[in-house]
Amino acid sequence: MAVPTKEEDEDPPISSTSLLSFDTDDCSTSIPPKPPFSSVIFTPLILVTCVSLSTAIIFAYLFFSHSSVSFISHVSRPLQKLKHPVVLLISSDGFRFGYQYKTDTPNIDRLIRNGTEAELGLIPVFPTLTFPNHYAIVTGLYPAYHGIINNIFLDPNIREPFTMASYDPKWWLGEPLWETVVNHGLKAATYFWPGSEVNKGGWTCPESLCKIYNGSVPFEERVDTVLNYFDLPNSEIPSFMTLYFGDPDHQGHKVGPDDPQITEAIARVDGMIGKLIQGLEARGVFEDVNIIMLGDHGMVGTCDKKLIFLEDLARWIKIPKDWIQSYSPLLSIRPPPSYSSKDVVTKMNEGLKSGKVKNGQYLKVYVKEELPDRLHYSESDRIPPIIGLIDEAFKVEQKSSKRNECGGSHGYDNAFFSMRSIFIGHGPKFARGRKVPSFENVQIYNMVTTILNIQGASNNGTSSFPKTILLPSH
């Protein structure tokens, strides 16, 4: 585990200058007069005493300095004001890894500098879309197991469409963190998070602690509401809270990841983090709160010149519009039962590889059972039987159009670096100035339950993972 590189923790410089100088050039045979006996004895004693004291001081400084650093770096810090652990989970939608370098972000930088960061970003689950990933973060489950396999989809068994306004618990499988927390007799508060509006298990989305999504609510109001929770009596402060910002995803879709609007959006989010930090400091609890800041996915630039048209496959197989569940960046196809999915895939790939379909080489189609195992995207009836993986920045459409638009998108293979987001952990359970390797966001669930000292539900995360990120208890 890394030791903070604070200036005051560095070893003091050791001079290379000798304590005694010897001149060997003078070979004179003259015998100098003898000094008095007391001087011969006293002078060396002074020198030896000074050297001993200096050495003792240096070793004492190094020992106690090292001990202090070890305590700060290797053991969780005790709470000063709060009476119980608190986790504040913050999502900045569409915050692609690297955005933090686009402009000055003094407040995010402060969390990074004094906390733990995934050095090359947080890896989203596939598909790299908002609802599947936000719900994966709070359940520790891949979409095939938590049920939200896309932002919009059709369940063939219940014959109903899921939309981002579907609050019926039949859609939302698994046990999200707010449900886990209240099941253990603790309090949870959510200021927007996909699935938090759903009454499920012990969670009833209480009006005072659960906000129904409304994108028009100013970010400042969201931060103020969370800060107000810390004005409650200590025993009433929620142990788990969520805070959601829709930027920079909103701007990224309109202009792509490299437009000045993204820079402005990042600066705005950083300002909200600054407002949050200032409010927590004013209440004397900033160092007591475990803040986890992350994003759900990244963003990549797209333009209509990077298109693949399904109509171009007509000489091999016709793909009617009503077979399509989603086009881009995840192609999902559910043909009628009378068609063999394997046959459809074989004919589609034959056409895509023929060289006669524009940009065909940038799309590969699978029956879902043959998708790469690392995607964990087959074990659900909600996932259509045919899935097309589209290369980064390309899009699939039904037929050619004359549009010439550029913007941004996500949802692609989570192996693409552009789909990564950020992870920053700050607080008593996170080491200061530490960098950790990238990891999948399904690990967050066990991390939070470990901080709160509660038993989580079964999930796809690794039970030992929190030990690699969190400081042990003091």
Three-class HEC string of 46-110: HHHHHHHHHHHHHHHHHHHHHHHHHHHHHCCCCCCCCCCCEEEEEEECCCCCCHHHCCCCHHHHH
**Nearest CA-CA partner of 133 in 422, 442, 416:** 442
The Cα–Cα gap between 52 and 316 comes to 89
Q: How far is CA 51 from CA 20, 57, 60, 159, in A?
A: 11, 10, 14, 86
From the candidates 105, 116, 130, 449, which is the catalytic residue? 130
Active site residue 190: no
Taken as a whole, the chain contains a residue count of 474
Pairing of β 240-245 and β 188-191: parallel
Cβ atoms < 10 Å from Cβ of 277? 17
Residues labelled catalytic: 130
